[in-house]
Amino acid sequence: MILYTHTHTQDLYRIGGQSGESCNLVKIKEREGLYSKNRPLFICTTKITQGEGVNDNASNILPNNRKSNSTKSILNAVSGITLIALVVTIVVLLILASVSITVVFGDNGILQLAKEAGEKTNEAVKNDISSIGELEDILHETQTGIKVDKVTDAKPAELEIDASNGNLFTINSIEDLVFFAHDVTNGNTYEDKTVKLGLSLDFASTKSYVDANRTDYGKYGYNGNLKTLLTSGEGFLPIGAILGYNDKEHSFNGTFDGNEKYIINLRIHKELSDNKNDLNIGLFANNYGTIKKLGIVNCDISGTLTSEVNSVHSGGISGVNFNEINNCFVSGQISSTGLETAKSRAGGISAVGRVFKDCYNLATVTCKGNSANVVGGICCGTDGENCSIMNCYNKGEIIGIDLIDGNFVGGIVGMARESGTNQMKISNCYNIGNISVSIKNMEGENGIFVRSEFLAWFMVKIQIIVTIIVI
């Protein structure tokens, strides 16, 4: 893998290779918002294919002057059989050739030397894998602008308990975070307890794992290479149960202290067909506790639900926030898609929520569906009494796709009420993010509610670009 940098973002370059090689040039998007812009990075990957200079004939492993018909026959005979059978065959031939047993089995014998050579080869392979991981770490750190420390977790998948406070637990590695999510999902709510993030963790960096290539975490829902599973496919399994709406017994009920650290490159992709349960995704599926001082950087969160009656909730910190989130931010991309007549809800901090303080969103938030779609920069709407959003702002783009009559799109919140049930108070908030809306159906009487401020009745004028596309 070769890394290139270039200052011209509009140009395309072909990095050539030798005849027979193919080279793909991939531009990595510049980050915006939190950090100063980095130079764009390019990766040149050269695909080596079988052909020139490669020959499958086993006899070519010997020099020409040492080939004989008998040797070729032996090599062809052992082709396709197991390594053990091959070793046994070689040993028998050596004995028949009057080679002593000591030469074969002794401390400096052929088999011992072969074993040592194999061990050196395995060590070399491990070193190569480690080098590749280090290059990937450099790439991701340059992309996000955040350098993470190498974890030193003596007991991975076991939260550290504070020596002077038995109700304080610390997460010191990705393995710990994986265990914590599984623990909450299976009924440990951590009520009256505090869980602290000990250091910033990057899912895409080997430095955030005790062993990024471990394959023994099937009991936590990861059957295969841990880092690969967390950074592709469905990615991370959220903290707490993702199905249902009021499952307090399988959700987080304590205090999560982000400790002013970051969780970087969080990936959650979940698709579900269900007419009985809502789908809630985010770092936390549902939050019944307090989440504070946490940054989610460069997330990729996507929820899709096929249903006739239920809702999909996608958010950065949580899918649904039943209590409080304060001093948190999110960057990256978040999307919610409702198929058939499933309701689609999305928010930068949380899809639905009650109390938000001192939070901001930089992520692009997208909502698409055929029924009752709501999207906002901080949250899409409220749940319960005494709801509030204070000292918050949105800079991320808010996108509503294929909206229909009666849908809501807002810079801070998509839909809220001034009084009665689900009343929300909003103070000292602003939006400077673009809002884009595509309309699929306008046959009803309610219309599409696009709020370029954050709520229609709180008339603070903000300079904003609103794009409405009628399909």
Choice among 98-102, 166-170, 326-330 with the minimum mean pLDDT: 98-102
Assigned token pair, 231: 């950074």
Residue 284 has pLDDT above 80, yes or no: yes
**Of 260 and 464, more confident:** 260
Residue 249 has pLDDT above 70, yes or no: yes
> What is each CA distance from 219 to 156, 199, 203, in whole angstroms?
14, 25, 19
Assigned token pair, 69: 């018909």
Spatial distance between the Cα atoms of 198 and 193, rounded to a whole number of angstroms: 16
pLDDT confidence of residue 240? 96
**Of 262 and 123, more confident:** 262
Nearest to 468 by CA among 393, 409, 406, 381: 409
Assigned token pair, 143: 């992309």
Spatial distance between the Cα atoms of 324 and 317, rounded to a whole number of angstroms: 11
Query: What does the DSSP 8-state code read for residue 216?
Result: -
Task: Read off the pLDDT band of 274 (50, 70, 90).
Answer: confident
Assigned token pair, 451: 């709020």
| CB-CB contact of 65 with 81 (8 Å) | no
- Domains of the chain (ranges; CATH) run 1-55 (no CATH), 160-470 (2.160.20)
What sign does the dihedral 217-223-228-232 (CA atoms) show? negative
**Percent of the chain whose predicted confidence (pLDDT) is above 90:** 49
| CB-CB contact of 466 with 439 (8 Å) | no
In 3-state terms, what secondary structure has residue 254?
coil
Q: Whole-number mean pLDDT of the chain?
A: 76
In 3-state terms, what secondary structure has residue 223?
coil
Residue 251 has pLDDT above 90, yes or no: yes
Query: What does the DSSP 8-state code read for residue 209?
Result: -
Query: What does the DSSP 8-state code read for residue 414?
Result: S
Nearest to 429 by CA among 457, 451, 465, 453: 453
Task: Read off the pLDDT band of 87 (50, 70, 90).
Answer: low
Number of C-beta neighbours around residue 291 at 10 A: 28
User: Which residues, other chains included, contact 15 with Cβ-Cβ below 8 Å and sequence gap of 6+?
Assistant: 2, 4, 23, 25, 42, 44
Say if residue 192 is exposed, middle or buried (CB neighbours under 10 Å; 0-12, 13-18, 19+). Answer: exposed
Spatial distance between the Cα atoms of 360 and 346, rounded to a whole number of angstroms: 15
- Whether the full predicted model's pTM is greater than 0.85, yes or no, is no
Task: Read off the pLDDT band of 127 (50, 70, 90).
Answer: low
What pLDDT digit, counting tens, does each position of 410-455 carry?
899 988 766 566 678 889 999 999 998 887 655 444 344 555 444 4
Residue corresponding to tokens 């959220």: 238
Number of C-beta neighbours around residue 427 at 10 A: 10
Spatial distance between the Cα atoms of 115 and 420, rounded to a whole number of angstroms: 77
